[in-house]
């Protein structure tokens, strides 16, 4: 961890950190941001970065979380759905997913359907996308077969 404590122009810092994190090989796990801070400190020591607006004690690059948003239109086969759930929950959790919502709506509005909704949070978009393609989750999908008609959307959070 870097102990860099300097002042930086916010707008140029954002661009510089993004570029440096990419160059440092950030894997979406925070390592790129730590390497970027270390590189910024080196640049500051050599007078190559203008520090005049913001004190940076410890810099971390925030990565937006990502979510699976699953809406069911119908569950056609309860046994297949139960088999899917038995396999899918641990597969998704092993891939870093956290179940935020699982159940039927309390109230629907506009064209909302009163059917099952699932929202799963992941630390990064990459983890959300990769979790769908794991062998464990693919086994769950095979167990479900055509037992449900649903819509899965993977979306990136705003923060």
What's the pLDDT at 138? 98
Q: Could you give the CA distance from residue 77 to residue 44 in angstroms, rounded to a whole number?
A: 62
b/e per residue 16-55 (b: at least 16 CB within 10 A) = bbeebbeebebeeebebbbbbbbbbbeebeeeebebeeee
The C-alpha atoms of residue 125 and residue 108 are separated, in whole angstroms, by 28
Closest CA to 97 of 61, 140, 130: 130
Q: Where are the chain's structural domains? A: 6-56, 66-156
Given this model, what pLDDT does residue 39 score? 65
Report the pLDDT value the prediction gives residue 154, as an integer from 0 to 100: 97
43 contacts 113 by C-beta, under 8 angstroms: no
**Where are the alpha helices (H) located in the chain, listed in sequence order?**
10-23, 31-45, 78-94, 125-132, 135-144
User: Per residue of the chain (159 residues), what is the pLDDT tens digit?
Assistant: 333 433 444 445 555 556 555 555 554 455 555 666 666 666 666 566 555 544 444 556 677 899 999 999 999 999 999 999 999 999 999 999 999 999 999 999 999 899 999 999 999 999 999 999 999 999 999 999 999 999 999 999 986
CATH class of 66-156: alpha beta
């Amino acid at each position: 961890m870097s102990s860099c404590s300097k002042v930086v122009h916010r707008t140029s810092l954002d661009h510089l950190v993004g570029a440096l994190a990419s160059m440092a090989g950030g894997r979406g796990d925070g390592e790129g941001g730590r390497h970027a801070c270390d590189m910024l400190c080196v640049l500051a020591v050599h007078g190559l970065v203008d520090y005049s607006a913001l004190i940076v004690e410890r810099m971390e690059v925030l990565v937006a979380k990502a979510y699976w948003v699953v809406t069911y239109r119908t569950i056609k086969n309860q046994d297949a759905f139960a088999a899917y759930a038995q396999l899918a929950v641990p597969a998704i959790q092993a891939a870093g997913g956290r179940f935020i919502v699982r159940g039927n709506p309390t109230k629907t509005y506009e064209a909302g359907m009163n059917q099952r909704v699932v929202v799963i949070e992941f630390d990064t978009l990459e983890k959300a996308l990769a979790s769908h393609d794991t062998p464990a989750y693919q086994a769950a999908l095979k167990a479900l077969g055509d037992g449900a008609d649903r819509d899965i959307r993977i979306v990136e959070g705003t923060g």
